[in-house]
Amino acid sequence: MLTNIKFIGHSCFLINGNILIDPFIYSNPTAQVIPEELKKVKDILLTHAHADHLGDAIEIAKKGKAKITAIFELANYCASKGLITQGCNIGGKVDFDWGYAHWLQAQHSSSLPDGSYGGVAASILLNIDGKKILHLGDTGLHSDMKMIGDFYQPEIVLIPIGGFYTMGINEAVEAIKWLKPKIVIPMHYDTFSNIQTDVNQFQYMINNSTEAKCIVLKPSRDITL
């Protein structure tokens, strides 16, 4: 089964036109979306509560009919805004009509817009009709990635490379050696001045020192895999 992956920008991806991850859109100068596109979203998945990930989730969910799935504390926050939510936690599997997703450990913090605790930060492994896509969220390099590679066997990995808040390119190459996917798509770089990096260098390192192939998507571009 083919899966369409559209890079909206930063860490935001639209999958198959109806699954939206980390929708930081309106305040992101690199992101352009057609409002009609967002009305088709059925599920919004959030890795954590930081503003560049929670983003416009609440507004988008209010306008359309999307359900928000996130770590328990973040889901409760969204529910307090009157939205349909489901709150899960690390290690949990959540069923959807398109397949299922596991919320997995990331090494990062997570706070709500008022600064209060947003639960833990997560990576999300989507299984869409058997195709496994891992959105790492914001994370540093951590050795549980070996377990995730061995046990969950992601085929496509969406990986932060911008440094400062997350892994940089050297850590991300090591992560890919542990996660062992076929395809790598970089994210969370060049949006702000403190996360600028050399994506071409990352692509070269992935293609020459791992088994994976790196596909660089510019914001608003998509690929069907």
Distance CA 105, CA 76 (A): 19
CA proximity to 55, closest of 188, 174, 171: 188
Residue closer to Ni ion by CB (options 183, 195) is 195
Q: Does 22 bind Mn ion (CB under 5 A)?
A: no
CA proximity to 19, closest of 97, 85, 78, 92: 97
- H or E, element range at 121: none
For Ni ion, the binding residues in 12-41 under the rule CB under 5 A are none
Distance CA 148, CA 208 (A): 23
Q: Which stretch binds Ni ion (CB under 5 A): 8-16, 95-103, 132-140, 214-222?
A: 132-140
DSSP state for residue 192 in the 8-state scheme: S
Among 12, 23, 44, 50, binds Ni ion (CB under 5 A): 50
Among 38, 138, 185, 186, binds Ni ion (CB under 5 A): 138
Q: Which stretch binds Ni ion (CB under 5 A): 43-51, 71-79, 90-98, 140-148?
A: 43-51
| CB 99 to Mn ion: min, Å | 25
Among 138, 139, 145, 156, binds Mn ion (CB under 5 A): 138
| CB contact at 8 A, 135 and 11 | yes
Among 22, 43, 52, 171, binds Mn ion (CB under 5 A): 52
Give the residue at shortest CB distance from Ni ion: 50
Q: Which stretch binds Mn ion (CB under 5 A): 32-40, 47-55, 203-211, 212-220?
A: 47-55
DSSP state for residue 66 in the 8-state scheme: P
Maximum CA extent, the chain = 49
Q: Which stretch binds Mn ion (CB under 5 A): 50-58, 112-120, 176-184, 194-202?
A: 50-58
DSSP reduced 3-state for 206? helix
Burial 143-166 (b: 16+ CB within 10 A, else e): eebeebbeeeebbbbbbbbbbebb
DSSP state for residue 117 in the 8-state scheme: B
Residue closer to Ni ion by CB (options 121, 212) is 121
* Chain center to CA of 71: 14
Residue closer to Mn ion by CB (options 106, 214) is 106
Residue closer to Mn ion by CB (options 52, 171) is 52
Q: Answer with the entry of Ni ion, Mn ion, none that 171 interacts with (C-beta below 5 to 8 A by kind).
A: none
| CB contact at 8 A, 187 and 159 | yes
Q: Answer with the entry of Mn ion, Ni ion, none that 73 interacts with (C-beta below 5 to 8 A by kind).
A: none
The residues of the shown chain that bind Mn ion, judged by CB under 5 A, are 52, 138
The residues of the shown chain that bind Ni ion, judged by CB under 5 A, are 50, 138
